[in-house]
Amino acid sequence: DAGITQSPRHKVTETGTPVTLRCHQTENHRYMYWYRQDPGHGLRLIHYSYGVKDTDKGEVSDGYSVSRSKTEDFLLTLESATSSQTSVYFCAISGVQGDEQYFGPGTRLTVT
Amino acid sequence: QKEVEQDPGPLSVPEGAIVSLNCTYSNSAFQYFMWYRQYSRKGPELLMYTYSSGNKEDGRFTAQVDKSSKYISLFIRDSQPSDSATYLCARNAGNKLTFGGGTRVLVKP
């Protein structure tokens, strides 16, 4: 998984609670991404980061925020979890050439 | 119209056959194209990427881009049961990936 870890790997939470997912990389790459994967929608970009403290929105950013205080860590926060945010969340990092993206193992989140 | 479209399958082939996968895209901006393989309950694994028209080979895999038709293809020669997975195509424009929905492939021994 290209030196990418995600934590937790599985989480069940209740509607209305905040949730933070963590992505950690050991490759020292500049770009990091958060995607969600849902049946019928495929993989969709939530937010991405192009450097420490530099982030931008993706296609489905509503209800999510991100932070990156260190090169190796990219956090995704669900401010108040809803059932529509039940999904599998993948972190990705850019490759050596800056265009290839490598994915982590995923976090399976269930909001009840 | 979705930016990247794929037939969801499933596509079932006998072992040793050629697997042929296709995607269409709608945006003409300069971009890269990528193919990922995803096993059940795992993260996508990058197989190939290309930005030019024509063919690119890597072992049993060949990626093909036809920019005039906005069509990208992946061919897997001598398919094996271990190739059974979902295959995702994606376009990369400005470091942002847009994915197709994926095609599920089943290679039967």
> pLDDT, tens digit, for every residue of B46-103?
999 887 778 899 999 999 988 888 889 999 999 999 999 999 999 888 778 899 999 9
Q: Report the gap between the CA of A94 and the closest CA in chain B (Å).
A: 8
Q: Is the pLDDT of residue A1 over 60?
A: no
Q: Sign of the CA dihedral B70, B79, B97, A2?
A: negative
* Chain B interface test: which of A7, A90, A101, A108 (most B C-beta within 10 Å): A101
C-alpha span between B72 and B53 (Å, rounded): 9
Of B43, B49, B92, Cβ closest to residue A1: B43
* pLDDT at position A55: 95
C-alpha span between B91 and A47 (Å, rounded): 17
* pLDDT at position B94: 77
Instruction: Work out the pLDDT band at B1, boundaries 50, 70, 90.
Output: low
Give the chain B residue whose CA is nearest to the CA of A38. Answer: B101
Residues of chain A contacting B44 with CB distance shorter than 8 Å: 43, 90, 103
Q: Is the pLDDT of residue B45 over 90?
A: yes
Instruction: Work out the pLDDT band at A8, boundaries 50, 70, 90.
Output: very high
Q: Is the pLDDT of residue A112 over 80?
A: yes
CB contact under 8 A, A103 and B36: yes
Of A41, A48, A104, Cβ closest to residue B43: A104
Q: Which residues contact B44 (CB under 8 A, 6 or more apart)?
A: A43, A90, A103, B36, B37, B38, B88
* pLDDT at position B55: 87
CA-CA distances (angstroms) from residue A21 to A27, A35, A93, A108? Answer: 19, 12, 15, 10
* pLDDT at position B8: 87
Q: Is the pLDDT of residue A98 over 70?
A: no
Residues of chain A contacting B101 with CB distance shorter than 8 Å: 40-42
Give me the total of CB pairs closer than 8 Å, taking one residue from chain A and one from chain B: 54
CB contact under 8 A, B32 and A90: no
